[in-house]
Structure 1
Amino acid sequence: MMIIEAFRKMQAVLFTCLCVLFCIFSAASSAEESFWRVSQEQFSCIVDNSRNYMEHGDDPIVIMVMGCPEADLSKAMAASAVNSGTFEVMDGDPVIILTKQEFQCLIESKDLVAVSGEIRIPREGICLEN
């Protein structure tokens, strides 16, 4: 029984590592774009749970979009997994990475507009000082 439990824990660790790699490569592949893309519904979840993300303690803040409202990265990855081998397909970016300052500016921003039901978050210059 202990062998089975140890195997499950090892499988969970490997799954988490694969999820992190998936997120990193997904973010890197879309790095050429000048904005993050999330649905209005997902953005609302992020805004509604902004305190959790700010209090989590990491800088930069890594948000697993489908894992919202979970601020803990490993728990968010687990929440976004449909089962042990597949992920729910979504439009937009699966992960958003912002410094705490950028995230605070994003939450306070009144300039974001939805385009075809999608919020576009600038990757740089969210809070440019005038």
Structure 2
Amino acid sequence: MNDVIHLNANQTKGSDSRRVFVSKKAKVVIKRYLNSDISVIQQRFLFQTQKSTRFNTSALTNLVKRLYARCGIIGASSHSGRRTFITKLATSGVSVRVIAEAVGHSSIATTQRYIDVNDELISNAVELV
């Protein structure tokens, strides 16, 4: 089973506590990162700014945008990865209800707005009958 990170209400956007499931692959990458330099573990924040403080929403949004640009992904936003993740789950046949729970949406209507309908989704649907 995957590990679960429990976030309390003041750590989340919607001020509700929630669980975040971490895949085995992500867990390996995070452990490798944490073990790469012992000083990282001693920091107050896992990701911090040049002033050694935690990222605020704006700084994190800008960082993600710059990372996308460095990878040659032009026009992507901080939500692009989230939208892609949700669409990939839907394309793989995962229930919208399960996706909503995994990404912390209280309403499946919100989750449905994130799903980009594409030819693969339509093709998969047609093959069901």
Q: TM-score, normalised by structure 1?
A: 0.27
Q: Indicate the structure whose relative CO is greater, using CA pairs within 8 Å and at least 6 residues apart.
A: 1
State which structure, 1 or 2, has the greater radius of gyration over its C-alpha atoms.
2
Q: TM-score, normalised by structure 2?
A: 0.27
Higher helix share: 2
Higher strand share: 1
